[in-house]
Amino acid sequence: MASKIVAPRGTQDIFPPQSGRWQELEARIHQLARRYGYGEMRTPMFEATELFERGVGDTTDIVEKEMYTFEDKGGRRNTLRPEWTAPVVRAALQHNLVQPGVAQRFYYVGPIFRYERPQAGRYRQAHQFGVECVGFKGPEADVEVIAMAMHLFRSYGIDVTLNINSIGDAACRGKYREALLEHFRPALEHLSEDSQRRLERNPLRLLDSKEERDKPFVESAPPFEAYLCDACRDHFEHVKKYLNQIAIPFVVNPRIVRGLDYYTRTVFEFVSDALGAQSTVCAGGRYDDLIKSLGGPDTPSVGFALGEERLLMTIDAAAESQENERRGIQLVALGEVARELMVTMCSLLRYSIDAPVFMDYDDRKLLAQLKIADRNNARYALVLGSEEISAGNAVLRDLVERSDRPLPLGKDLVPSLVEVMKS
């Protein structure tokens, strides 16, 4: 026998019934975006490598070690999208959507690619939903995107904690940088290799380190709060005030910095206890300098990216005991005459109701077909055999309540089924 080919390491196939949950999540996402006035952006799955080198930052994990980069036949260096913010900004600039004084709201849903060590909640192809609110410098925009993510979590009734912090701007970053250098330099030889290499170029990155070796030094590092300039402090205070005003609870966590170079002022993460080591479901912040650095006008912006896999895992953990809701109907034909009748019924029902209509076409006994109904998670089964045909009634079985009722055959059958399935 030929050997089987399997999906690449760190990737996942999504198939029924799990794919239904993805569709449901993405339907919610599109609806949420509509309510908040965000328009969808779709960009190519690959971009010029330089976009990420400049737009994500060359001391980040993503650019240093996680990109899928390849040379095409024309000798260009391309990279599979490892994150969406740089591509969305690139597209917005390319199509002149970013203009002074005009705010824009974009969202996206789709795959990202990162060469990571695969484990639960960490994949080489993952999927993100994210938003970019472009062109507002005020704290209202920070709070708007945070509120959107929270809205999605609340719609699932799951418990996630919002951590926020401010990492200042060009005016106050310099002083904090010095303070960090002073803190980490004496410990240099005890730090991880990555941190040793990054210290002089970007000491803020060290606070984001996941290495055990760095932990004690990261924990004792000075918090940014003391170094914020007046304007940044005021911005941060307003973010907190607005969050209180619209009843979004948060924790100020000075260890949240985000890995990217262009983040300024507000940064935040939503974390879930249900996830173990990969506990961050959603992360984001303000990036007032990114658009300029990619060749656009000076445009303050804020956004987040949310991992769809991690969100679904959080929902699973919360709903572990809840049984899958049954939907739709299984048509059970016993014998050839019944089957012929039911092919028509099946066709009519599929036009008439917004729920799955299942039918098995093989010659099977009643019990076997009811088993199939269970596997399909159908709510009802409609049974038709020669006995039922001569009595003039099909039998509708409610598979949840385990009750039967006769439904007269004839032109009223489909309308009465539609009626039953509505309730």
CB nearer to ligand ATP: pick between 144 and 309: 309
Strand arrangement of the beta sheet that strand 77-80 belongs to: 46-48, 77-80, 69-71
Cα–Cα dist 265/238, whole Å:
12
- 389 vs 386: CA distance, rounded Å: 5
| Ramachandran angles phi, psi of 269, nearest 5° | -140, 145
Distance linking the first and last C-alpha atoms of the chain: 51
Q: Compute the distance between CA of residue 159 and CA of residue 113 in angstroms, rounded to an integer.
A: 28
State which of residues 203, 296, 303, 307 lies at the interface with ligand ATP (CB under 6 A). 307
Cβ-proximal residue to ligand ATP, closest one: 307
253 binds ligand ATP (CB under 6 A): no
CB nearer ligand ATP, residue 61 or residue 398 = 61
Question: Would you count residue 281 as binding ligand ATP (CB under 6 A)?
Answer: yes
**264-271 and 280-286 strand pairing:** antiparallel
Window contacting ligand ATP (CB under 6 A); options: 38-46, 120-128, 355-363, 387-395: 120-128
Q: Which of 43, 23, 26, 44 is nearest to 34 (CA)?
A: 26
Closest C-alpha among 163, 205, 216, 184 to residue 61: 205
Closer Cβ to ligand ATP, 302 or 305, answer by number:
305
Q: What's phi and psi for 371, nearest 5 deg?
A: -65, -40
Under 8 Å between Cβ of 29 and 152: yes
The answer to whether 36 and 148 have CB atoms below 8 angstroms apart is yes
- Binding mask of the shown chain, residues 47 to 86, with x at each position contacting ligand ATP by CB under 6 A: ------------------------------------x---
Kindly indicate which of the ranges 217-225, 275-283, 330-338, 373-381 contains the residues binding ligand ATP, using the contact rule CB under 6 A: 275-283
Stretch near ligand ATP under the rule CB under 6 A, chosen from 93-101, 229-237, 278-286, 331-339: 278-286
By CB under 6 A, tell whether 167 contacts ligand ATP. Answer: no
84, 123, 129, 262: which one contacts ligand ATP (CB under 6 A)? 123
Min dist CB 68 to ligand ATP, Å, is 12
Cβ distance to ligand ATP smaller for residue 163 or 369? 163
Q: Give residues in contact with ligand ATP (CB under 6 A).
A: 83, 114, 116, 121-123, 126, 128, 259, 278, 280-283, 305, 307, 309-310
